[in-house]
Structure 1
Amino acid sequence: MKLIALTFLPAINAFTTSGFRSITSHEARSSPMAVSSSTGKKSQMDLAADFESTSPSEVTQDQAEVVLVGCGAPNRGMGWYHAVQMLEGRCPSASLDYIIEPWFLGPGATSPGGPEFNEWAETIKSEHKTTFLSSVDDLPPADKPRVALISGRTADNPRLLGECIAKGCKCIYLEKPGAPTVKELEEMKAEAEEAGIEVLMGYNKVSLIYNSKKRLCVQPVLMLQRCMVQLCIFFVLKNVCKYVRKTREFAETVPGSHVTFVSNNAYENTPESLGECFERNAEGMLKNMAIHELALLVSFYDVTVENIESVTADKEFSSMQTLKGPSGKEFTDFDKIKFTIKTKTGKEVSVQADRCGGTDSYATVSDASGEELFRYWMPDEEDKKNVQALQTKYPTAMPYFFTQDPDYVTVKERVAKHTVTGDEAEGVATIGVAVETLRVAEYLTPTLMEQLQ
């Protein structure tokens, strides 16, 4: 099976395979979610711990035909790192047969990153059976189950989704955030549903899972109240599972506890570095870097646009700048932001994101007086050995690739295996979750910008 890579914004939907219908936006926004346990015996934390230790099953026969759409520059593009993992054979159910890169194989061939990409492409073509194309339209008919991995520019995703559907993709793996706007993401969701195509999301902190009886259920670990059907939500990735599970587990032992999720990138704190970041991620920090944290808030803390009572920016920490990107155009975004959300149902939680904060992310638990009692890092000590090995192997690559390396492998393997065998893609979120998360991001961005002016 071949995998097609494309980058998409998160959206909300329920699986339509195995006879389950998609929920409507009205249902998703007005109906409480039914909650049930898949075992009826273990606690929510026991269930999370069990799932944390699972790994993808290896395939002994067929592979999915993977089409990666939007590779990006070597050592910088998320699509490039997806390709590296598959070419190294770390996703046994995925055969990376096609890489589609419209920019570097077209008008951007001599632009920054272009020569490096084309040199890398020549090496890959000589060592593997991967075909490089400049357009989805150039794909031949699929002769095996085909999955597209969309990891390109967010603004291109609505068009790329339609093109991939037209080229016979059975399943689409859409990288966050999925689309520039909620409206576009909802339209993409509807287009895929009409074509009978499943869209799974590259969220590596919150995911959906089906139990062995093919019944949708909700593990209490992740409470998502937006769906009318019974969704089974769980942690898909080992690092993230530990990072979130251990934090929430400790918070439950502290009366009046307050959780803060902290996400860091390692860009240089210069106008040139941040300007390039702002232009390349033009959808903005909350739709890009911090989208995973917002998905956690939607899933665990009842955060929805309708249920937000207040959002307050930490003005002392936060910073917003207007900078020129490589094109000369100006972009306004947060280079760092911290805010606290209070919900109408009594929940309170904080998020902190810093483009220049370093390579590691973490979560903290404070007591009612504000004293920090607990901090858990991602990666933890157990995972740092893998990070160090990858840093040695790819010394100029983006640091965040390495901290989440096992997570990326797990999601791709499960999506590819699902495409081949029809087995449920355990722990992988649907486009439906992405829609609700993007709604929150669109609400928060202007609200926080106004507070910082």
Structure 2
Amino acid sequence: MADVDATPAGNVVEVIFIGCGRPNFSMGWTHLEQMLREPLASLAAVVGVVEPYYLSEACVPGEDAELFREYVAAHKDLRFVPSCTALAKELPAVAPGRVRAAIISTRTPDVLPAFQGAVLELGCRAVYLEKPGAATVAHLDDIAQLAEKHQVDVVVGYNRNVSLHVRRALAFAKEREADMGTPPSVTLLHGNPFCDKEMNEVFRRCRPGLFYDMACHELAIAVGFFGLTAAGYSELRVDKASSLQAVHGGITDFVRAAFSLRPAPGAEPIGFQIDRQAGSFNGIDVDGRRFLSGEPPLLYTNPLQSLSSHIALNYDQYVEAKRIFLSALAPVNARAAMPAAAPAAAPRVAPTAPAPSIS
């Protein structure tokens, strides 16, 4: 392993990545690639990358493993290790005047132990969790309790909420209602670029399912901008003709799901179209006009072999979410130097409504 300076000068924030995954494709790799470029590179220093699969004995030799080895070889300035325990042996304690943060992009079932390692072994006091945050509400409660005990700031990367396409769609919807005198129809869109032969792996990797893995983003938009709550929604209707529930690799899940609901009493219904096989995009349809992520809009069909051409550079919401997170850590660092105060109440996570099943 290369001799890497653990605390580069000039950066108050140290960032550890837990979960890199397959180069050119995985979300962990995407976060890391964006962190190495401006506008994020000047906000923090990457002091370690924990990759629990490709650096483990469980890794299956093949093209993906070779891609990862090549990526490591091309980034000798980064410290790659197989576990939080291994990284803790190499990193010094967090220096005065600095704050250490983690960006966790492991498989969803592995988020809780990764969070525990980041906080208890690596001394992280700010953590960015890739959605949906954890595999279960119980795990989210465990994370919240540990965060409260150690005064750790935690965010979940529902990055659509800061995306340009969402702002444009909401502005157009407001203009449309003013012009027409009635609220426009709104449908939240999300596509992934996978084909039939990939469904076994997609269903396995993306457990506990499409509503946790994909629809959570659109539900977060509905919560943030349309008043959706677990207790307040009504009139849930599933479009069975546009939805498909299937079994792949012994796992039952949705390939695509189309539904609508009234997010709150008195609110207008909104639609959802979530499809694992529609191409690579997310967006909002307002009265037939589509506002899509990326500049230019991203419309890639399946199968998509590499996300590197667009996801590492052009997904504005991914960069903006991390920019907000990292920029906010200066107050966190200042707070660490202040006398200890009574900890705030731990955040609570409302139980989610069960996903509709198609018979």
Deviation per CA, 1:250-273, whole angstroms, max 9, x where unpaired?
A: 3465415331111111112x1x21
User: Which of 25, 28, 31 in structure 2 is aligned with 1:82?
Assistant: 31
What amino acid maps onto 2:18 in structure 1? V
Displacement of 1:61 = 4.2
- 2:275 alignment counterpart: 354
CA offset at residue 423 of structure 1?
8.6
Equivalent-residue separation in structure 1 for 2:74 and 2:290 (angstroms): 40
For residues 313 and 212 of structure 2, the distance between their equivalents in structure 1, rounded to whole angstroms, comes to 20
CA 1:281–1:142: 2 relative to 1, 3 Å: same
Structure 1 pair 364–252 and aligned structure 2 pair: CA distance change class (3 A): farther
Equivalent in the alignment of 2:115:
161
CA distance in 1, matches of 2:288, 2:12: 43
| 1:181 correspondence with 2:136 | yes
User: Does 1 or 2 have the higher relative contact order (CA < 8 Å, sep 6+)?
Assistant: 1
In structure 2, what is the equivalent of residue 24 of structure 1? none
Unmatched 5+ residue regions in structure 2? 335-345
- Deviation per CA, 1:172-218: give whole Å up to 9, x if none: 11110011111211221121012111001211122xxxxxxxxxxxx
The answer to whether 1:69 aligns with 2:18 is yes
Q: Which amino acid aligns with 2:105?
A: S
With normalisation by structure 2, the TM-score equals 0.82
| In 1, Cα distance between equivalents of 2:55 and 2:102 | 19
8 Å contact kept, 2:229–2:264 = no
SS at match of 2:252: strand
CA gap of 1:358–1:153, structure 2 versus 1, over 3 A, is same
Counterpart of 2:241 in 1: which secondary structure?
coil
Q: How does 1:118-267 map to 2 (within 5 A)?
A: 118-125=69-76, 128=77, 130-138=78-86, 139=88, 140=91, 141-143=93-95, 144-166=98-120, 167-206=122-161, 236-251=162-177, 253-254=179-180, 255-267=182-194
**Residue 249 (structure 1) shift:** 4.5
* C-alpha contact 1:360 1:377 (8 A) present in aligned 2: no
Q: What CA RMSD, in Å, does the superposition of the two structures yield over aligned residues?
A: 2.9
Alpha-carbon displacement from aligned partner over 1:275-322 (angstroms, at most 9, x marks no partner) = 211111112111111111101222233322211223111001000111
Report the Cα distance in structure 2 between the residues aligned to 1:404 and 1:239, rounded to whole angstroms: 12
2:339 alignment partner in structure 1: none
Q: CA deviation at 1:412?
A: 1.7
1:114-165 deviation digits (Å, cap 9, x = unpaired): 221122112111xx2x111111112223333110000111111111112111
Q: Mapping of 1:267-278 within 5 angstroms?
A: 267-268=194-195, 270=196, 272-278=197-203
Match of residue 32 from structure 1: none
Q: Indicate conservation of the 8 Å contact 1:262/1:352, yes or no.
A: yes
Task: Tell me: CA distance 1:299–1:396, structure 2 relative to 1, closer, same or farther (3 Å).
Answer: closer
1:205·1:241 contact (CA, 8 Å) conserved in 2? no
Deviations 1:312-367 (A, max 9, x none): 1100100011101xxxxx211111101111256132211111111122333223xx
Whether the 8 Å CA contact 1:250–1:374 is kept in 2: the answer is: no
Q: Which residue of 2 aligns with 1:97?
A: 47
Check whether the contact 1:302–1:345 (CA below 8 A) recurs between aligned residues.
no
Match of 1:337 in 2: 257
Q: Which runs of 5+ in 1 are unaligned?
A: 4-59, 207-235, 325-329, 366-372, 389-393, 425-430
For residues 416 and 336 of structure 1, what CA distance do their matches in structure 2 show? 34
Contact 1:417 1:423 in 2 (8 A): no
Measured after TM superposition, the shift of residue 413 of structure 1 is 2.4
What one-letter code is carried by the residue in structure 1 that aligns with 2:236? V
Q: TM-score, normalised by structure 1?
A: 0.66
Change (3 A) 1:168 1:249: farther
SS in 1 for 2:118: helix
> What is the identity percentage for the equivalent residue pairs of Structure 1 and Structure 2?
26
Offset of 1:89 from its aligned partner? 4.1
- d(CA) in 2 for partners of 1:156, 1:354: 25
Query: What is the number of equivalent residue pairs in this alignment?
Result: 328
